[in-house]
Amino acid sequence: MSNPYDIAYARSIEDPEGFWGEAAQAVRWTRKWSKVLDSSNAPFYRWFVGGELNTCFNAIDRHVEEGRAGQLALVYDSPVTGQVRKFTYRELQDVVARTAGVLAAHGVGKGDRVILYMPMVPEAAIGMLACARLGAVHSVVFGGFAANELAVRIDDAKPKIIMSASCGIEVNRVIPYKGLLDGAIDLAKHKPSACIVLQRPQAKAELRAGRDFDWAEEVAKAKPAACVPVQATDPLYILYTSGTSGQPKGVVRDNGGHCVALKWTMKAIYDMDPGEVYWAASDVGWVVGHSYIVYAPLFHGCTSVLYEGKPVGTPDAGAYWRVIAEHGVKALFTAPTAFRAIKREDPNADLVKKYDLSRFKILFLAGERTDPDTLAWAEKALRKPVIDHWWQTESGFPMAANCMGLHRFPVKPGSPTKPVPGWKIDVLDNNRNIVKPGTIGSICCKLPLPPGTLPTLWNADERYKETYLAEFPGYYKTADAGYKDEDGYISIMARTDDIINVAGHRLSTGAMEEVLASHADVAECAVIGVADALKGQVPLGFLVFKAGVKRGPEDVVREVVQLVRDKIGPVAAFKSATVVNRLPKTRSGKILRGTMQKIADGESYKIPATIDDPAILDEIASALAKLGYAKENKRQA
């Protein structure tokens, strides 16, 4: 018998224009579209052509008009500063309109770009919404990025204005931003006409006369700006993601498809109703922050939590439970790495018992593969559904998920369940053939992609085609590897460049990590392929112990080597692992396996701009040297 998911999915594939045209009825338009899907310039597909709307109006003003003016829209919780600030929809409308007035007074209009270089404060979301209000294109750059990385983005986006803050705060560390911002502008060929700087009490910035303006002073004297209608196909934002060439890729998101798709996901995937509290524990510098801190919850009339803190250390591994209890969170969306950090500090989940989580209903995990051990730990600790789902910066919203608002399927550990409606996902081999169930291949999405996805890259149409469309014609290449099973469940095992070739056998590092993570003493792990003269590549494991483990590393290494042999087999050739204090990660929590592999193989590498703590790479290099790898450190300046 069909269920609501099966019905929705079939219709989305067989009649995408009917499916998304119906979903678009939930959005407020100033002019209805003339065509739902325009395929006339394939592979540059456009959704809701001829339609006109304003994204900020759909996020804020419509709710004020429709009776939610007094409801909380945004809750800012900052354990690093000891602050909680709350904004109703009416209060958010007022401050966003006045912030848009600041931008307008500095000459920002429809189509102009604005870079936001911000920490996790309400003004970051307010600045994004203010840009959307004017029809300006925002580009959020993660606060604290190095000056040269910011300069590259300034030259690519060519912003009229930069909005920034005097500092960011990382647990007990204050990171001044202004020196980095000044350095980036000095390096960049393109010069913004003004910088609007939020002065935080933890570090006051020196403002350059004539160019820099105090955020609070500017807002205080600004005239509120009205919402400016834009074309559905006009860009809303540019979000830069790392490129293999060293030149970051500017992922573009349009206004119309983005609004339609994201509003639809809040009920269909996350089972949220207007008025309920949703928390995405991410950063506005990442796609999760764009989609599920700022836009989707507000499109749907929910209350969104914006958290300036960590899963541990602010002050302890109970930080998330406190936020959920205090603000009545129904659904939390975070990365598996956050739960591994919590598990490492509080392996028995004792801190969960201190808080009332009765209003909490669902945990969603994404950003990297959710290993079965972390899934099982979270399910046991919370006694709530734990839903793994999979998506990318480019997709803008989930591509595979257990769609909790449509139909709840049984969870299969290690799988984000099935394709989300709108996504036709196939697993292909190197000859572009669809592989049999259970066979690992390249995961690709049939064109056209659904609304809300990237229509192209900023000023780089050819690069868009070359990067995503050329290798598998008719498909978008996700660069993820995995398989589908007989029930249609998808498993994402690794990035395609994390599939290693051991003596002619294509093996998934993710499958090996799954085995390592199942060991009772292991909190986190990573597996990379290192060069081997005989086999081409061999796997090498890195283990991080749980807090309180007293056993010798040699014993645990011996046991995990045997585990891999028992569960995957001798073909894996897994014979070596090392114990480290921590793993190198991006600020969003992704493990930098590619960088680790380059260190091990003695290849040249740069410190990634997104790395959380560069000092960890020295620890990794030292551990590799003890195993006979990393004979020469070829770190580039």
What is the predicted pLDDT for the residue at 605?
A: 84
**Cα separation values, 25 from 65, 89, 204, 431, Å:** 17, 22, 47, 41
End-to-end CA distance of the chain: 61
Measure the CA–CA gap between 473 and 432, rounded to whole angstroms.
9
pLDDT of 144 above 70: yes
The chain-wide mean pLDDT, for the chain, equals 93
571: which residues sit within 8 A by CB, 6+ positions away? 502, 505, 507
Q: What is the DSSP string of 182-245?
A: HHHHHH-SS--SEEEEEPBTTBPPPPPTTTEEEHHHHHHHPPP-----EETTSEEEEEEE--TT
Q: What digits encode the pLDDT tens for the residues 556-602?
A: 999 999 998 888 777 778 889 999 999 998 877 788 888 898 898 88
Q: What digits encode the pLDDT tens for the residues 287-303?
A: 999 999 999 999 999 99
pLDDT of 404 above 70: yes
Instruction: Check: CB of residue 173 under 8 Å from CB of residue 81.
Output: no
Of 101-110, 126-135, 147-156, 322-331, where does mean pLDDT reach its minimum? 147-156
Q: Three-class SS of residue 276?
A: coil
Structure tokens at 379: 């399910």
CA-nearest of 176, 177, 128 to 306 is: 128
What is the predicted pLDDT for the residue at 340?
A: 87
Structure tokens at 495: 């990035």
pLDDT band at 195 (very low <50, low <70, confident <90, very high): very high
Per-domain residue ranges for the chain?
Answer: 4-309+389-482, 507-626
What is the predicted pLDDT for the residue at 537?
A: 82
Neighbours of 479 (CB within 10 A): 18
Q: What digits encode the pLDDT tens for the residues 498-552?
A: 667 676 566 778 778 888 999 999 999 999 888 877 777 889 999 999 988 988 8
**Cα separation values, 461 from 241, 296, 456, Å:** 16, 27, 6
Token pair 């307008």: residue: 104
Question: CATH class for domain 4-309+389-482?
Answer: alpha beta
Q: What percent of the chain clears pLDDT 70, i.e. is strictly above it?
A: 96
pLDDT band at 142 (very low <50, low <70, confident <90, very high): confident
> Averaged over 92-102, what is the pLDDT?
98
Q: Is residue 94 packed enough to be buried (19+ CB in 10 Å), middle (13-18) or exposed (0-12)?
A: middle
Pairing status of strand 441-446 against strand 475-484: antiparallel
- 3-state SS of 433-479 is CECCCCCCEEEEEECCCCCCCCCCECCCHHHHHHHHHCCCCCEEEEE
pLDDT, greater one: 352 or 242:
352
pLDDT, greater one: 13 or 440:
13
What is the predicted pLDDT for the residue at 245?
A: 47
pLDDT of 470 above 50: yes
pLDDT of 246 above 60: no
Of 41-45, 182-186, 192-196, 503-507, where does mean pLDDT reach its minimum? 503-507
pLDDT band at 607 (very low <50, low <70, confident <90, very high): confident
pLDDT of 624 above 60: yes
| Mean pLDDT comparison of 171-180, 224-233, 486-495, 578-587, highest-scoring range | 224-233
- Domain covering 507-626 assigned CATH 3.30.300.30 in the classification: yes
Structure tokens at 23: 């979903």
What is the predicted pLDDT for the residue at 351?
A: 97
Q: Name the β-bridge partners of 169.
A: 174
The single-letter code of the amino acid at 132 is: A
Q: What is the DSSP string of 251-273?
A: EEEESHHHHHHHHHHHHHTT---
What is the predicted pLDDT for the residue at 394?
A: 96
Q: What is the DSSP string of 141-191?
A: EETT--HHHHHHHHHHH--SEEEEESEEEETTEEEE-HHHHHHHHHH-SS-
> Averaged over 108-112, what is the pLDDT?
98
Quote the DSSP letter at residue 275: T
The distance from CA 88 to its chain's CA centroid, rounded to whole angstroms, is: 26
267: which residues sit within 8 A by CB, 6+ positions away? 273, 300, 405
Single pTM value for the model:
0.86
What is the predicted pLDDT for the residue at 125?
A: 98
